[in-house]
Structure 1
Amino acid sequence: MRVFITFLCIGFSFYVSAYEPINSLPTGSRVSLLVKNPTETALSINTKQLFPPASTLKIITALAAKLELGDDFRFETQLEQKNKDIVIRFSGDPTLKTQDLDNLFKQASNQGIKSIEGNIWLNDSIFTGYERAVGWPWDILGVCYSAPSSAITLDGNCVQASIYTNSDGSTRAHVPEHQPIIVTNDVITVTKEVQKERQCQLELLTSDNNNYHLSGCLISQKKPLPLKFAVQDTQEYTSSIIKNLLAKHRISFSGNIASRNDIQGTPIATHLSAPLNDLVESMLKSSNNLIADNITKTLGARFYSQPGSFNNGTEAIKQIIFSNSRINLSASQFADGSGLSRNNRMTAEDMNKILEYIWKNESTLGVIKILPKSGETGTLKYRRSMRQVPIKGQLQAKSGSVYGSYNMAGYVLNGNGQPKSTFVQFISDYFPKKEESESNSLSPLFKFEKAFYQDLIKLSPKNSSLQ
C-alpha cells in the first residue's frame, strides 16, 4: 500500500510505503482514514470502501434534522377528550418523562376532570413498522442503549434496577417499587478465578409484559451493580404508569387503556419537548440512540407525509441531504439513524463530504460547536487516547463503536478553537488477542489513536477556512 501524506506544517511532501500507526492494530483489522484541509488531502487510505459508521452516523442524522425540521422544532404530546374517552396523542418525543405525563393529568384534574367514564386511548399513529431496526443484535435488546424506537416513548424506554452479591454465593435483584417491571434472578456470586474457569457471565433474557430474567455469574461486588433495562412493551409500561398517575390525582377510572389511532378529541393539555437544537446536542454529546432513531422516524413522517419508520426515515435523510447539498448517499446502506445496526455501511469519502458541507455552513447549522471535544466534553471527555495534551481540546468529533468497529469523524481545531481540517477514522474487524484485551498494558486501539491524533495536529495547517 502506498499512501500520500502531505506535511503542510513543515512545507514539504513525500511518499511512505504504509502509515506506521496502523501496524499497532491486530492482524485482520480493516482501516479507512481520510484527512483533508480546504486545499489538499493530507492522508487517504481505503476511502472508497464501505465500513460500518456506527454512531458517527448521528452526524448525518443531525444534519438532516436541522435542514428539514429546524432548530425550533419541538415534539408535542397532547391530552385530548372525546366524549367520555381520553386520548393521549404521542409524537415519539424521546425525552418525554413520567413527570411530563403527570403534569398533563394534573392540568386535566385542575380543569375539573375527576372521573373518566370511558376508555383511555393511546394514539401512536405518528410511527409505524419495527421498533427495532434490522441489524440490531438480539443479545443487546434488553439494555437501554438499544431501547425500542416507538411513538409511545416514556422515560427513555429505560428502567433502572440493580443487583447485589451476597456472601453465601447468591445475589439479589432490586427494582424500585414505582417501576412496573418484573425481574427474576438466579445469578450466582463467584470469584474472578471461578468466573474465568467456568467462562460464565451475567446474562439477561426478556419476555412478554416487561419481564426480565438474570442468570449466569457475577464477581463479588462491594456495591450494588447498576442495571438499565430497555422497556420491551412500551404500551404496557406506559399504561401502568398512567394508572398510577390517575390514582395520584384521584381521577376515577374503570375502563380500558389501549391503542387506537383513528380517534381525535378536543385538546385539554399539551407538553412540548425542548427545541430540536437541544435534543441534537444531547444526541451528539451523549450518543443517545433513542433520540437519533425517533428523529429519523420523524423525518420520514415529515418528508413523506405518512407514518414514520426506519425505512422511510433513513431514505428521507438521504433525500433531504441531497436536495440541500447535492451529496449523493445512494451507495450508503442505512438501517437506522443511530448507527446501532450492524447493517449500516458508508465510505469515509462520503462521511467527509458531510463534514465539509457542515463546515461551510456552520454559521447557520451550528453542528460543529455542539460536537464533543477531545478530553473535555461528551463521550470524548474520558476517552483514554484524548485526555492528555497535545490532543486534549484540539479535536471536535463524534465517536462510534459497534461490534469490532471503532470510529471517529470530525474536525481538527486551530489555536482559536476553529476547524482547520476534517478527518474520518473507520476501523473495522478489530479483534485484539485475548491476552491483549485482558492485560493492563496499553491496548492496540489506544496506541493507534494516540499516534493518529497526534499526527492530525501535526499534519493540519495552522489556519484554514473553507469558503
Structure 2
Amino acid sequence: MFATLRLLFTCATGLLSLNCFAYAPLDHLPSGSRVSIAIEPLNSETPYLTTSNREQFFPPASTLKIVTALASKLALGDEFQFKTELQSNQRDLVIRFSGDPTLTRDHLKQLLQQAKQQGISHVRGDIWLDNSAFTGYERAIGWPWDIIGVCYSAPSSAITLDENCVQASIYSNDNGTTRVYTPEHFPIYVTTAAKTVSKQQQESTRCDLELQVSPDNHYQLQGCLVERSKPLPLRFAVQDPSLYTQRTLHSLLTQLDIKLDGNIRIGSPTQNHFQSVATHYSVKLPELLQTMLRKSDNLIADNLTKTLGAQHFALPGSYGNGTQAIKEVILQHTGIDLARNKITDGSGLSRNNRFTSEDMASILRYIWQHDEQLGLIALMPSSGENGTLKYRTSMRKAPIKGQLIAKSGSVYGSYNMAGFGLDKNGKPSTLFIQFVADYLPMKKGDGKPTIAPISQFEQLFYQDVIKFSQLKPKK
C-alpha cells in the first residue's frame, strides 16, 4: 500500500542528513488514503521531511480556523467586540444585532432591564429585531443536510442567541416507548416516536436514533434508543434563530412586566430618530479567538467571517464576501496569495473547502514570525492539555503531551492537524502539517478494542515532529 505516495515522499537535508525513504508511519493508514505531510524548521524553509504533493488540494476542515483567526486579527484588531444595542424613538424599540455568537438570553434580559430602569415599561409601538448586519445563507454551501440538527452546525445569523443551540434529553421507557424533556425557557418543540430497544435488538435491526427538523424549530426523534437507566443528553441547532429570539423576547417581556401594544417584528424599521438606551458588548477579539481555536467553535468562526466581509466591503456580511475578504486581507497584509484555494466558510465545516498544505505552512510561518504582534500561538490548543487536543488518543501521553501547539480538523474521511512543535524550552521551533483525506478504515467484527489506524499513524508522526523540534543546533 501507498506505493505511489512513497515514490512521492522526499526527505530534505536539514539539521539531520537523511536519505529518501518509505515513511513507515504511513503503513498504518488504510489503502486508498491520501496524505500530505510536512515538518519544517521555523528558522529555515528547507523541510526536514515532506511529501511532494504540497500543491494538491485537501479538505482543511477546522484547520481553516487558523486562517480565519489570522484574517480577523489583521483586519478587526484586538479591541474588536460584537455590539448589540437597544434603541428607542419614544414609541418603538429596535434591537440592533451584529451576529454576536456569545449573546445569551441573560444578556438580552439585561438590555430590557436597563430600558425599564430608564422608564420604558410600556412599548406603545413595535419591537424590531434588526437582522441587517448579515445577508444571504445562514448555512454555507457544502454543509451536509444530515448534520443541520446538531449544534456544531448551528446557523450563522445576525440575530444569534444562546449560541443558536438548545438542550433537551430523551428517556427510555419500560413499555418500549421514549419520552423527551426540554427546559421550559427554550421556545422549541420536541416530540419523539422513537422506540426503546435492547442492544441486541438495535444491532440486529440496525435501527438508530434519528432526528427530523423543521424550519419552525420543531424537532422529532425517530428510530430506536437503546434502553438506558439515565437520560441521553441532546443538543439541537436552532433552525430559525429569528423565531427563537422572537419567542424568547416575548417570554422576557412577560417576566419583566414590560407591556407591548404592537408586535415583535424581524427587520430594520424605516423610522429614524432612534436613540441608544442600552448596549451589550461581547468579550474582545483575543478571547473570542481563544474559544474559537481551542473549542473549535464553528459559530464564532463563521460570524467573524461574515463580519470581515461586512467591514471589508462596507456591505452586509455574507459567506461570499466574508471568504473573499479573508483572502484579500491576508494578501494585503502578508503577501500570501490564497486565490487558488477554495474557501466556502470560515469554520471549515463545508465539504467544499479545499486547501494546500503548502499554503497552510505559509500561514503558520507568518503567524510565528509575527507572534509578538499577533499573539495567536498562545490561543491555540496544546497537545493533551487543553481544548480539542486534551483527550485526543494520540496526544494524551508522553512524549507527545504538552509538546505540540496545533489546530485539529476533521470532516468525513479527513483527519488533519496544523501547528507547531516545541523545543526543549517550550518554544515553537518547527511547523508541521498533517492532511489525511479519504481515510476509510474497515471495521473489525470481532468486537475487540483496537487502536484506530489514524491514532497509530499520528503517534509516530508526532514523535517525529517532536524529535525534529528538539534537535540540538549545530555549533
Q: Which residue of 1 aligns with 2:441?
A: 432
> 1:405-436 CA deviation, whole Å, 9 max, x = no partner?
11000000011211000001001111111227
Q: Provide, for residues 266-298 of structure 1, a one-character-per-residue CA deviation record: whole Å limited to 9, x for no partner.
A: 110000000011000000000000000000000
CA deviations 1:213-246 (Å, max 9, x no partner) are: 1001111222111100000111110011111111
Q: Does 1:124 align with 2:131?
A: yes
Name the structure 1 match of 2:406.
Answer: 397
Residue 325 (str. 1) matches residue 296 (str. 2)? no
1:244 to 244, 251, 257: 251
Q: How many pairs align?
A: 462
Report whether the alignment pairs 1:32 with 2:36.
yes
Alignment TM-score, normalising by the size of structure 2: 0.95
**CA–CA distance in structure 1, aligned partners of residues 315 and 112 of structure 2:** 29
Aligned partner (choices 299, 303, 306) of residue 315 of structure 2 = 306
> Which range is displaced more, 441-450 or 161-170?
161-170
* Alignment partner of 1:280 is 2:289: yes
Would you say the 8 A contact 2:65–2:348 is kept in 1?
Answer: yes
Q: Following the alignment from structure 1 to structure 2, what is the Cα–Cα distance between the partners of residues 254 and 162?
A: 36
- The 5 Å alignment of 1:135-174 reads 135-174=142-181
Q: 1:343: which partner in 2?
A: 352
The one-letter amino acid paired with 1:31 is: V
The alpha-carbon deviation at position 47 of structure 1 amounts to: 1.2
Q: 1:461 to 1:181 in 2, by over 3 A?
A: same
From 3, 10, 14, the counterpart of 1:4: 10
> Within the alignment, does 1:77 sit opposite 2:84 as a pair?
yes
Structure 1 unaligned runs (5+)?
Answer: none
Shift of the 438–124 alpha-carbon distance from structure 1 to 2, 3 Å rule, reads farther
Q: 1:341-361 CA distances to partner (integer Å, 9 max, x unpaired)?
A: 000001000000000000000
Equivalent residues of 2:128, 2:269 under 8 A apart? no
Match of 2:3 in 1: none
1:20-419 correspondence to structure 2 within 5 Å: 20-37=24-41, 38-39=43-44, 40-45=46-51, 46-263=53-270, 265-419=274-428
The residue type paired with residue 124 of structure 1 is N
Contact 1:420 / 1:462 at 8 angstroms: preserved in 2? no
CA shift, 1:463, in A, is 6.3
**Secondary structure in structure 2 of the residue aligned to 1:435:** coil
Superposed displacement of residue 195, structure 1: 1.2
**Deviation sequence 1:326-382 (CA, Å, 0-9, x none):** 100000001100000000001000000000000000000001111000000100000
Q: Distance in 2 between matches of 1:438 and 1:331?
A: 44
Cα RMSD for the two superposed structures:
1.4
Q: TM-score, normalised by structure 1?
A: 0.97
In the alignment, structure 1 residue 14 sits paired with structure 2 residue 19: yes
Kindly indicate whether the alpha-carbon contact (under 8 Å) linking 1:7 and 1:459 is maintained by their aligned counterparts in 2: no
Contact 2:13 2:47 in 1 (8 A): no
